Every structure is written in C-alpha cells, then in structure tokens.
C-alpha cells in the first residue's frame, strides 16, 4: 500500500505539469485580454500594462518565467484584483470554501446514505419511494433555484435565518443545505443502486441464511461492496465541494474560492486562472488517489492485485 501511494504521489508531478502547460496556452488562446474594458484604453496604456505584467515578452519566455516563479510557490499577482497576489486570494478563500464544503459534504453523506440505504433495504415500498422521491427532488431543483427558494422561505418569510453572510453559525445552514442537496441526491441514488446489487448476491444470502442479524449483514458485509459506486463518485465530488461553488457563494455572499474560478475565467485574469486550476487539480489528484485507496480497502481482492 505504501508503495502504491508513493507511486501515485510521484505521478502527480508530470500530471500537474501537463495541466499547467495546457492551461497556460489555452487561456491565452481565448479571445479578449485581461485589460479589455468597455472604455477602451489607449494603445500606449495597453502596451504599458502588458509591460507591467510581462505580457509583451514572447510566449515561451512568459511560460518559462511563470514556471520559474511557480517552483518557488509564487503564483503571481492577480490581474484583476490588482492589490493582491493569487497566493493571497487562494489563501483567503480556501479556508472558507473548505468549511462550507465540509458542512455540505456532511449534509450530503448523512442524508444521501440514510435515504439510499434505507430505500435499498425495503425496495419498492413506501420506505423506498419516499426517500427516493425526496432525492429526486434534490436533483430536479438545481442549486441556483434551491438557494433563492430557501432564502425566500426561511430568511424572508419565516425570518428564522439570515439571508446572507458567513460569520454566525446560523448563516452557514442554508448554504450548506443548498450546496449539499444535489450531492445528497446523487449519493442516495448511487447507494440505493449499489446496495440493491449487493443485497441480491449469494454471499449475502448465505450470511442471512446463517442467521446473522440484519444489522450485521448490512454493516459488515453489504456496505463494503454496496458503497463502491458512491466512493467512485465521491472523489471528484469532494474536490468540487471543497474548492467552493460559484453559485452558492454568490447567492449567500460567502467570501470563498468558488467565485474566483468563474470570475478568473471571465476576466481573463491569467494568473488567477492558472492558480485556481492548479489548486483544483491538486485537490482532484489527492481525492481521486484517496478514492482508489479506499476502494482497495473496501475490496480485499483488489488489494491483492
């Protein structure tokens, strides 16, 4: 296992380099530059700005300069948020997104697994249909609808919770639910399917036939295999959750990282795009690695291979 993990960690370096290289050239290929604005700047000013941000140099030179800074952990200044560096933007935004992501993940896992597993244990009964209908609603109502809807009901009509912000605990409930709902629905459906699959298998029947308690059958035997699809899904999902959500952060006015992914791209803020992409890529790699490790643990036979 240790060898496996070390191997995977070493693999990340070329992967990250490929991502950096592709992103670097992709963003410069997209039309519109960071300094285009409704009020056009003069040619002279544009030249000066490009000079300040090292955009006049030949492309290969810009690329090697960027890599040079990157090796030292310097992601450069943000073009749009000109008084801050990309390191600072990520450093300030990530803890917030991480916190929100963790709450949402808890919501998603708790609700999703409870609904999915209880549905799978009593397929085609009310205890299946009720939670599954709920889960379906979670998928049908996208977060850009659910967010404003929750605000309207709980903040403006009932006045139980604040409309936005990120200081008090009460301000964190609606965003966590909004962000977690879709994922809960996914997890519910995937876990129901996976559990049904496993529960129909011979070894479960054997276990039941041996007279083991239902709880023991489910906990010790069925969960391992049944959650396999959920675990596969969780890798990218967790990376997405923890790196923030543009929609939820905008609706609830949360100073997280998610907005910068979208704003960076729209503003052609080259350094910010590079920084956030690199950061997200690292998260993806870590989580997908964690998933592979978890899968190996869930399935002893795979570990052997």
Judged by CB under 8 A, which of 70, 102, 136, 293 binds other proteins? 136
Q: Write out the binding residues for other proteins, residues 194-213 only, by CB under 8 A.
A: 194, 196-197, 200-201
Identity of the residue, 102 or 265, whose beta carbon is nearer to other proteins in the bound complex:
265
Q: Write out the binding residues for other proteins, residues 239-268 only, by CB under 8 A.
A: 239, 250-256, 259, 261-262, 264-268
- CA-atom Rg of the chain in angstroms: 24
Closest contact distance (angstroms) between CB of 32 and other proteins is: 3
Regarding 80 and contact with other proteins (CB under 8 A), the answer is yes
Judged by CB under 8 A, which of 5, 6, 9, 11 binds other proteins? 11
Q: Write out the binding residues for other proteins, residues 13-72 only, by CB under 8 A.
A: 15, 18-19, 22-23, 26-27, 29-33, 35-45, 48-49, 51-52
Tell whether the torsion through CA atoms of 175, 179, 185 and 191 is positive or negative: negative
**Residue 15's closest CA among 303, 285, 294?**
285
Closest contact distance (angstroms) between CB of 136 and other proteins is: 6
Closest contact distance (angstroms) between CB of 278 and other proteins is: 8
Q: Name the H helices within the chain.
A: 2-29, 43-52, 59-71, 86-121, 126-140, 143-150, 173-199, 202-209, 214-216, 223-226, 228-242, 246-251, 258-267, 270-298, 300-304
Closest contact distance (angstroms) between CB of 1 and other proteins is: 16
Residue 26 token pair: 């992709």
Judged by CB under 8 A, which of 62, 98, 164, 208 binds other proteins? 164
Residue 122 token pair: 């009593």
Identity of the residue, 39 or 210, whose beta carbon is nearer to other proteins in the bound complex:
39
- Among the residue ranges 56-64, 65-73, 189-197, the one whose residues contact other proteins (CB under 8 A): 189-197
- Among the residue ranges 56-64, 66-74, 114-122, the one whose residues contact other proteins (CB under 8 A): 114-122
SS3 124: coil
Whether 144 and 251 have beta carbons less than 8 Å apart is answered as: yes
Judged by CB under 8 A, which of 86, 105, 108, 117 binds other proteins? 117
SS3 85: strand
Closest contact distance (angstroms) between CB of 60 and other proteins is: 20
DSSP category for residue 169:
G
HSE of 131 in the Cβ direction (CA atoms, 13 Å)? 26
């Amino acid at each position: 296992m240790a060898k496996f993990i070390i191997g995977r960690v070493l693999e990340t370096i070329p992967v990250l380099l490929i991502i950096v290289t592709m992103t670097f050239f992709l963003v410069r290929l997209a039309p519109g530059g960071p300094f285009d604005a409704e009020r056009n700047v003069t040619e002279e000013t544009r030249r000066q700005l490009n000079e300040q941000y090292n955009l006049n140099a030949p492309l290969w030179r810009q690329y090697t300069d960027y890599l040079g800074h990157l090796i030292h952990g310097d992601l450069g200044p943000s073009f749009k948020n000109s008084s801050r560096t990309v390191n600072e933007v990520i450093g300030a935004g990530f803890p917030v997104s991480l916190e929100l992501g963790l709450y949402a993940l808890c919501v998603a896992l708790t609700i999703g697994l409870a609904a999915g597993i209880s549905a799978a244990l009593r397929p085609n009964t009310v205890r299946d249909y009720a939670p599954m209908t709920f889960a379906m609603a979670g998928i049908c109502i996208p977060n850009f609808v659910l967010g404003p809807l929750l605000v309207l009901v709980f903040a403006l009509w009932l006045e139980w919770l604040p409309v936005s912000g990120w200081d008090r605990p009460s301000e964190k409930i609606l965003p966590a639910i909004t962000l977690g709902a879709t994922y809960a629905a996914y997890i519910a459906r995937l876990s129901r399917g996976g559990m049904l699959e496993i529960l129909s298998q011979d070894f479960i029947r054997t276990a039941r036939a041996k007279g083991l308690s239902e709880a023991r059958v489910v906990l010790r035997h069925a969960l391992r295999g049944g959650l396999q699809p959920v675990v596969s899904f969780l890798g990218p999902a967790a990376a997405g959750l923890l790196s923030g959500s543009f929609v939820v952060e905008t609706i609830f006015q949360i100073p997280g990282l998610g907005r910068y992914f979208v704003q960076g791209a729209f503003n052609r803020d080259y350094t910010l795009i590079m920084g956030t992409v690199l950061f997200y890529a690292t998260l993806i790699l870590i989580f997908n690695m964690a998933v592979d490790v978890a899968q190996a643990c869930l399935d002893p036979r795979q570990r052997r291979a």
